[in-house]
């Protein structure tokens, strides 16, 4: 989308760093709730986290054009990753919820929509 990130090895380094960081962050023991409770905060965190993960991934791939096959592969990979994320969280004292997975995929979906719009704008002849 934006620019290439240090070639193929730079993009791989970004992906590996993201994957390791994501696994560590999502599998730390659950932080006890504070005195102020924000309704559905966990779903907002899931949405935001996967939005950022997907956006950085798209940027690191320097995606210039979106085709249906590419989007399908992207969605499948993130769906499987988010599912594995949810299914392994109970091993670390955290809960697994289908709505967390839905929030994860909503973040990925919004990221793809924004990425597609940016890609179209960058690739249009008049820059609109």
| CA 61-64-66 angle, 5° bins | 95
Name residues whose C-beta falls within 8 Å of residue 39's C-beta, 6 or more positions apart in sequence: none
User: 66: burial class by Cβ within 10 Å (0-12, 13-18, 19+)?
Assistant: buried
User: Distance of alpha carbon 66 from its chain centroid, rounded?
Assistant: 17
Contact 82, 53 (CB under 8 A): no
Q: What is the DSSP letter of 125?
A: T
Q: Residue 103, Cβ neighbours under 10 Å: how many?
A: 22
| Residue of 54, 59, 70 whose CA lies nearest to 107 | 54
Other CB atoms within 10 Å distance of the CB of residue 17:
12
Report how far residue 113's alpha carbon sits from residue 100's, in angstroms, rounded to the nearest whole number. 20
Would you state the pLDDT for residue 22?
Answer: 67
Q: The pTM is what?
A: 0.72
Q: What is the pLDDT along the chain (128 residues), one digit of tens a residue?
A: 334 445 667 767 777 777 777 666 666 666 566 666 777 788 998 899 899 888 887 776 665 667 778 778 888 988 998 999 889 888 877 788 899 999 999 999 999 888 888 777 776 666 55
Q: What was the pLDDT predicted at 16?
A: 77
């Amino acid at each position: 989308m934006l620019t290439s990130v240090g070639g193929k090895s730079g993009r791989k380094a970004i992906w590996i760093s993201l994957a390791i960081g994501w696994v560590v962050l999502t599998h730390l023991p659950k932080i006890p709730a504070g005195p102020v409770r924000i309704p559905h905060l966990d779903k907002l965190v899931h949405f935001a986290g996967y939005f950022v993960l997907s956006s950085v991934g798209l940027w690191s791939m320097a995606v210039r054009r979106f085709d249906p096959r590419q989007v399908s592969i992207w969605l499948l990979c993130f769906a499987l990753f988010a599912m594995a994320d949810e299914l392994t969280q109970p091993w670390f004292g955290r809960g697994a919820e289908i709505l967390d997975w839905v929030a994860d995929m909503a973040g990925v979906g919004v990221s793809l929509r924004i990425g597609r719009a940016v890609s179209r704008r960058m690739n249009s002849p008049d820059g609109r």
